[in-house]
Structures are given as structure tokens and as C-alpha cells.
């Protein structure tokens, strides 16, 4: 049987293509929004994957180190290392800040990594250029998204660092690229004050009678020294020995070290369920609104196209065409418009996702679900036009 919808689309292809492009851009935005959400989730998973840890040990009763601040002594890892089932334990610090490079600055997450070389939890698992950090100070490995290049000089707080290695897809849960520096430098950077503040602080301590006792002349120097160093890290990353269950080791750490530990799945729940939950709801609302707007636009377009054919529809009805055929024609045109829109939207989203500042992950399953939802929207949107077409009186084709 002849396809009236197909012939109409072929005949008025310009109208359908341009309308489809307009609709496609809207669909592209919808797919991109879904991609932004997927990108956020993926950033969280990548963060966990790249840390190389099986467990995250953090300050007691906190959701650190990513969702809440967490602070624990930097010697805690020694005690953890001695527990059964623990193969490796390494300190790590995280600090999101603006890193200066010449006149510009880049928002990045500075990660302080414990000495020991690649393979230690927290270290970037692979590089795309250069080498890993080999010196104790002032070397950095940066994610390519920072825009830094090998041998670039970057400034973190008051110190300059040389970029010795580049890595890729090493991002924080909020998508900021990571810059890895030695742990000691990172600890210093977290609490480093300017010179005036240091002088002020020393004077305040010196004026405190409790620290300035004539009977104990070394007390003041001891206190000042202790205040100028930072013995804290944000978390201890733990790698398990083969054959040990993560839950059991978590229980041992929490019982004997008075710290909180999370397994991989728990940490994923924190990142995805808590940290990006509000953003996900925000994006979800956008998706709902975009779906409603798309439905309204498709309905309006199909309704307008149908009204433009009212006389032909009246003739078709008068000469005995079944309602089913007319309804089928309108619905197929709506679906055709949806298909054109989807193709345009998918292509647009694929291209413009690359230029987004943060990672946009376009998944095939989202595209498939989006296509199904779009087809349902097209069917529903065509109902108004079908209703209008079926209401047309065939007598309209006869004058008088």
C-alpha cells in the first residue's frame, strides 16, 4: 500500500528537514543534559578508579574526603598498614584551588600523594606524556584538561612547581582536573599563610604567658615549630590483600583505629547518591521540562501541518478513505519528524559535547531510551492533530 506520510515528507522535504533541524537542536540539548549527568557520575567513578584504593579511611563520622572535609593524622596510615588484610596504605590530601600559571589561573584539585612511586594508592595510574614525580618537592603531574604542558612552571600558593608529567581523565567529582604534587608540599599548601600572618601568629603566641614561661625557655620555640607544620591528611587510601573481604577490614579499622572507613560501593553511594544528588535532580527537572517542551513543539508542528491539509483530508474522507489511513498518515509524519529530529539531535550532541568544559558522556542506552521516549511523545503529540483531522466533515469538500 502507498505510504501517504512518506510521500508527503518527500514532497515537502524542505519543510520537514528544517522543522526537524529545529526540533533536533532541542533534542540535542536534551541528550546533552543527560550526557552532563552521566559525565558527573562518570567523573565520580573515574575519581574512585584512579585513586587505586579498595578502602577510604577518613576522619571518624565524616563522609570525607570528597563529600565532606576530613582530617586525620598523617601517621595514622602506619597503624592501618599493620592491620590484617591491608596490603598498602597511603596518605592523600585533596585541595581544590586556583593554580596560577603566568597571568592566568586554572581551577584544579591539587592532590598530595605519598612518596613511593607509581602503584601507590593515590598516584596517577598512567601518564600520556613525561614522567611520574621523582623528587620530594616542587614537581607536578597535571591532567591535560588544565591546559598545562610539560616543563610549564605553575604556582601553588607561594611555591613554583614544574610540570613533569601529563595524564588524562583524572578529575575531581565536580569535574575539576587534578594536579598531583608531593604530599609534604600539599600539606604545606593547605595551611600555608602569608608572611605577615605568620609574624602576627608568632607574636600572639609569644605574648601568651602560658607559652612564655621563664622556667621552660624552649617551650615557645617548640610551640611555634609545631604550629608551622601540618600533620594532617584528608584520607588514607588502602589497598587490600587478595582474599580479604572489604567489609571485614572496614570493621577492623573502625573498631581499632577509631576512624571511619568506606568500601568502594559505599564511596560510590556517597559520591553519586549524596554529592551529585542535587545536581542530578536539577538535570532531571531540566529533562522533564525539555521533554514537555519537545512534546508541545511536536504537537504544534504536526497540528499546523495537518491544518494545512484539511481540504485534502476532507476529500480523502469523502472519497472513502478510512479514518485509520488518515490517522496513520498523521502519526507516521509525526514519527518521521521525530526520527529526523533525533538524528539531527544525536549528531549535534556528539559534536558539541566535545567542546563542553566538563566531561559529557553520551551513552548509547540514553540515546536509545531518548529515542523511545521521543517516539512515544510523537505518538501522543499527533493525537491532537488526528483528533482535528477526524473531526473534518467530508461535506467540506463539497461547496455550498
Question: Which residue number, 194 or 393, has a Cβ lying nearer to another protein?
Answer: 393
- Tell how strand 178-182 and strand 104-113 pair up: parallel
Cell of 396: 467540506
Q: Which is nearer to another protein, 12 or 383 (CB)?
A: 12
320's torsion region: left (phi>0), alpha (psi -120 to 50) or beta? left
Q: How far is CA 145 from CA 36, 106, 168, in A?
A: 17, 10, 7
Q: Which is nearer to another protein, 295 or 318 (CB)?
A: 318
What are the grid coordinates assigned to 181, written together?
604534587
CB 343, min distance to another protein, A: 22
Among residues 114 and 337, whose Cβ is nearest to another protein? 337
Nearer to another protein, 152 or 312 (CB): 312
Q: How far is the CB of 26 from another protein (least distance, A)?
A: 26
Burial class of residue 312 in the structure, from the number of CB atoms within 10 Å of its CB (0-12 exposed, 13-18 middle, 19+ buried): middle
Residues found near another protein in the complex (CB under 8 A):
1-2, 4, 7-8, 10-12, 311-312, 315-322, 325, 393-395, 397-400
In whole angstroms, how close is the CB of 278 to another protein at the nearest point?
50
192: three-class secondary structure by DSSP? coil
Least separation in angstroms between residue 303's CB and another protein is 18
Sign of CA dihedral 249, 254, 255, 258: positive
Closest to another protein by CB, 8 or 54: 8
The CB-of-319 to another protein minimum distance in angstroms stands at 6
Rounded least distance, CB 4 to another protein, Å: 8
Identify which of 105, 110, 143, 145 has the alpha carbon closest to the alpha carbon of residue 127.
143
Closest CA to 21 of 331, 302, 347: 347
> CB–CB of 30/209 below 8 Å?
no
Longest dimension (CA), the chain: 119
Residue 41 contacts residue 302 (beta carbons within 8 Å): no
| CA 321 and chain centroid, separation | 54
Kindly state the smallest distance separating residue 329's Cβ from another protein, in Å: 10
Kindly report whether the peptide bond that precedes residue 371 is cis, defined as omega within 30 degrees of 0: no
Q: Which is nearer to another protein, 4 or 80 (CB)?
A: 4
Amino acid at each position: 500500500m502507498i505510504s501517504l506520510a512518506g510521500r508527503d515528507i518527500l514532497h515537502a522535504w524542505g519543510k520537514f528537514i528544517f522543522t526537524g533541524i529545529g526540533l533536533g537542536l532541542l533534542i540535542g540539548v536534551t541528550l546533552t543534559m543527560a550526557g552532563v549527568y552521566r559525565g558527573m557520575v562518570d567523573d565520580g567513578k573515574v575519581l574512585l578508579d584512579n585513586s587505586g584504593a579498595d578502602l577510604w579511611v577518613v576522619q571518624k563520622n565524616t563522609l570525607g574526603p570528597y563529600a565532606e572535609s576530613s582530617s586525620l593524622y598523617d601517621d595514622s596510615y602506619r597503624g592501618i598498614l599493620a592491620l590484617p588484610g591491608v596490603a598498602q596504605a597511603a596518605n592523600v590530601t585533596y585541595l581544590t584551588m586556583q593554580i596560577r600559571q603566568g597571568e592566568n589561573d586554572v581551577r584544579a584539585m591539587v592532590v598530595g600523594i605519598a612518596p613511593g612511586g607509581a602503584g601507590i594508592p593515590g598516584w596517577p595510574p598512567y601518564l600520556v606524556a613525561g614522567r611520574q614525580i621523582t623528587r620530594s618537592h616542587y614537581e607536578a603531574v597535571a591532567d591535560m584538561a588544565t591546559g598545562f604542558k610539560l616543563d610549564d612552571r605553575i604556582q601553588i600558593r607561594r611555591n613554583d612547581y614544574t610540570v613533569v608529567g601529563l595524564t588524562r581523565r583524572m578529575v575531581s567529582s565536580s569535574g575539576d582536573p587534578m594536579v598531583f604534587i608531593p604530599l609534604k608540599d600539599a600539606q604545606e599548601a593547605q595551611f600555608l599563610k602569608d608572611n605577615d600572618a605568620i609574624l602576627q601568629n608568632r607574636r600572639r603566641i609569644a605574648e601568651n604567658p602560658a607559652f612564655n614561661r621563664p622556667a621552660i625557655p624552649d617551650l615557645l620555640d617548640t610551640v611555634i615549630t609545631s604550629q608551622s607544620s601540618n600533620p594532617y591528611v584528608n584520607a588514607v587510601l588502602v589497598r587490600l590483600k587478595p582474599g580479604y573481604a572489604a567489609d571485614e577490614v572496614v570493621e577492623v579499622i573502625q573498631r581499632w583505629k577509631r576512624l571511619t572507613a568506606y568500601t568502594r560501593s559505599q564511596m560510590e553511594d556517597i559520591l553519586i547518591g549524596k554529592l551529585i544528588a542535587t545536581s542530578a535532580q536539577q538535570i532531571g527537572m531540566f529533562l522533564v521540562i525539555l521533554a514537555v517542551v519537545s512534546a508541545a513543539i511536536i504537537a504544534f508542528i504536526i497540528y499546523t501541518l495537518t491544518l494545512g491539509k484539511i481540504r485534502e483530508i476532507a476529500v480523502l474522507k469523502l472519497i472513502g478513505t478510512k479514518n485509520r489511513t488518515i490517522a496513520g498518515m498523521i502519526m507516521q509524519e509525526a514519527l518521521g519528524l521525530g526520527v529526523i529530529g533525533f538524528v539531527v539531535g544525536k549528531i549535534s550532541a556528539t559534536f558539541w559535547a566535545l567542546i563542553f568544559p566538563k566531561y559529557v558522556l553520551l551513552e548509547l542506552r540514553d540515546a536509545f531510551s531518548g529515542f523511545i521516549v521521543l517516539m512515544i511523545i510523537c505518538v501522543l503529540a499527533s493525537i491532537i492533530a488526528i483528533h482535528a483531522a477526524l473531526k473534518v466533515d467530508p461535506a467540506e469538500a463539497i461547496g455550498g
